């Protein structure tokens, strides 16, 4: 059996006729740039996010960069964020001319630890950029309180978390703005690059619209340096077809995540940490990510058995060579660095069959039992001892 991390073929077949009809409609109209499909998607995603405006842009990376610039982040400013994320988060801060200030993560959720934010604030801090990693929102209630006390902007990197909730509120309701990626692998994915900013700040929305078209308003008159970063009309048309299914797909992801978790906890609950969904959250499982021992060896074993897995992310941003001038070193963010050595994401998508999940689970169990490891000892007791360096900690 060959099991991919993500298989979009079944989803496409279910939407094929509608997608083709919509694309034909766009091509027949000859309206390819910022047309009616973009406007509809902007309005629908903004409404879904309980925000006033949506601004479609070329991709999720540009969405962060443009949101920061529109929020006034510039040369000499500092933006507090997490180092345990895709490069676009820190890269966008640096491209805006600001300094990324990396703080550690919460061990259970892998999201930025709010308790680490306030000590990192200086007189140069202008914003906090939390990332809703793997489909679960960061502790936005605490982050918003900190931002309010210190008069900081909050830009939510919600690239992986469209549809996620925290205390009943969506990504986009807490921050000055939130940004989405519609990269094909995302929960709501285009058939190419696409992204969006959502906000209820009218000034930020207007600035973002100007920045995405080379900083021009009116056309050919430029008052700021902007970019060519517009959401493509064809991609918007595809996303408009897919958008009504988003909640259904999120629920399907949650069901598959629950199945993985139940089976892993039954067999290997003292060895593997399954995803922790905080009580205040609604997790949409963009990724189903485990924390486990012998990660690299397990990944190799699963690959040999036709199972694709991914490591998100093997090298945290604070120790990336491109950020060496920031002065961080290994050991500065211990939880982040530990997670980078232990996380592994399993295949996860709405159409994933239980038969495929059972095969993945069977091979994971086989791997650990082959090493003499299971949740229960021969006498039925659970081993709670912590081993030393280089061996497994069962806790």
pLDDT for 375: 63
On the question of pLDDT at 40 being above 90, the answer is yes
DSSP string, 155-202: EEE-TT-TT-EETTEETTSSSSEEEEE--TTSSS--SS--EEEEES-H
pLDDT for 126: 98
Average pLDDT over residues 53-71: 98
The predicted-structure confidence for 213-230, as pLDDT tens digits, reads as follows 999 999 999 999 999 999
Question: Which helix (H) or strand (E) covers residue 79, if one does?
Answer: strand 78-82
Label the pairing between strands 177-181 and 195-199.
antiparallel
Label the pairing between strands 195-199 and 53-57.
antiparallel
Tell me the average pLDDT of the chain. Answer: 94
On the question of pLDDT at 11 being above 60, the answer is yes
How would residue 390 be classed by pLDDT, with cut points 50, 70 and 90? very low
According to DSSP, residue 217 is labeled S
On the question of pLDDT at 384 being above 80, the answer is no
pLDDT for 379: 34
Q: At what angle do helices 354-370 and 246-268 cross, to 10 degrees?
A: 30
pLDDT for 335: 98
- CATH fold of 9-103+110-244 reads 3.40.640
**Total residue length of the chain:** 395
On the question of pLDDT at 377 being above 90, the answer is no
288 within 8 A of 275, measured Cβ to Cβ = yes
Residues of the chain with CATH 3.40.640.10: 9-103+110-244
pLDDT for 381: 35
| 198-203-207-208 Cα dihedral, nearest 10 degrees | 0
**3 state DSSP class of 230:** coil
The predicted-structure confidence for 122-156, as pLDDT tens digits, reads as follows 999 999 999 999 999 999 999 999 999 999 999 99
Q: At what angle do helices 60-70 and 202-211 cross, to 10 degrees?
A: 120
The predicted-structure confidence for 267-301, as pLDDT tens digits, reads as follows 999 999 999 999 999 999 999 999 999 999 999 99
Residues of the chain with CATH 3.90.1150.10: 245-370
State how far the Cα of 123 lies from the Cα of 256, in Å rounded to an integer. Answer: 45
pLDDT for 198: 98
| Residue with tokens 């060496």, as numbered in its chain | 324
- The CA angle 338-342-347, to the nearest 5 degrees, is 145
The predicted-structure confidence for 67-89, as pLDDT tens digits, reads as follows 999 999 999 999 999 999 999 99
On the question of pLDDT at 388 being above 50, the answer is no
Q: Which phi and psi (to 5°) does residue 382 adopt?
A: -95, 130
State how far the Cα of 64 lies from the Cα of 322, in Å rounded to an integer. Answer: 19
pLDDT for 376: 56
Domain boundaries 245-370, corresponding CATH code: 3.90.1150.10
Query: Residues with Cβ < 8 Å from 115, sequence gap 6 or more?
Result: none
Share above pLDDT 70 across residues of the chain, in percent, rounded to a whole number: 95
On the question of pLDDT at 210 being above 60, the answer is yes
CB atoms within 10 A of CB 122: 9
The predicted-structure confidence for 112-121, as pLDDT tens digits, reads as follows 999 999 999 9
Share above pLDDT 90 across residues of the chain, in percent, rounded to a whole number: 93
| Residue 283 to residues 169, 176, 193, 251, 388, Cα–Cα distance (Å) | 12, 22, 24, 10, 33
């Amino acid at each position: 059996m060959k099991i991919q991390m993500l298989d979009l073929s079944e989803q496409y077949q279910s939407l094929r006729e509608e997608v083709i009809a919509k694309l034909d409609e766009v091509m027949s109209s000859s309206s390819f740039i910022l047309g009616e499909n973009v406007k509809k998607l902007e309005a629908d995603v903004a409404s879904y996010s309980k925000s006033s405006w949506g601004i479609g842009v070329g991709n999720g990376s540009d969405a962060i960069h443009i949101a920061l610039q529109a929020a006034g982040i510039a040369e000499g400013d500092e933006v507090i964020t997490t180092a345990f994320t895709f490069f676009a988060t820190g890269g966008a801060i640096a491209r805006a001319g600001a300094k990324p200030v990396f703080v550690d993560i919460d061990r259970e959720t892998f999201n930025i630890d709010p308790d680490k934010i306030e000590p990192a604030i200086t007189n140069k801090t202008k914003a906090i950029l939390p990332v809703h990693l793997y489909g679960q929102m960061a502790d936005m209630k605490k982050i918003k309180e900190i931002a309010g006390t210190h008069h900081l902007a909050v830009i939510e990197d919600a690239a992986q978390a469209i549809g996620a909730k925290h205390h009943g509120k969506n990504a986009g309701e807490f921050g000055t703005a939130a940004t989405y990626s519609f990269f094909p692998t995302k929960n709501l994915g285009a058939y190419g690059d696409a992204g969006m900013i959502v906000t209820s700040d009218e000034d930020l929305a207007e600035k973002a619209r100007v920045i995405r078209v080379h900083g021009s308003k009116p056309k050919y008159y430029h008052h700021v340096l902007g970019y060519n970063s517009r959401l493509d009309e064809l991609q918007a048309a595809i996303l408009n077809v897919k958008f009504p299914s988003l909640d259904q797909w999120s629920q399907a992801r949650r069901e598959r995540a629950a199945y993985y978790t139940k089976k892993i906890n039954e067999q290997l609950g003292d060895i593997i940490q399954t995803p922790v969904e905080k009580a205040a959250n609604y997790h949409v499982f963009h990724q189903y990510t485990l924390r486990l021992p012998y990660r690299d060896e397990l990944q190799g074993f699963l690959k040999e058995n036709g199972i694709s897995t991914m490591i998100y992310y093997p090298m945290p941003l604070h120790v990336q060579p491109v950020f060496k001038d920031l002065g961080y070193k290994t050991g500065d963010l211990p939880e982040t660095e530990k997670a980078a050595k232990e996380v592994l994401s399993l295949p996860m998508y709405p159409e994933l069959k239980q038969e495929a999940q059972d095969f993945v689970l069977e091979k994971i169990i086989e791997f650990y039992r082959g090493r003499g490891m299971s949740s229960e000892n021969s006498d039925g007791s659970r081993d709670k001892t912590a081993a030393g360096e280089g061996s497994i900690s069962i806790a």
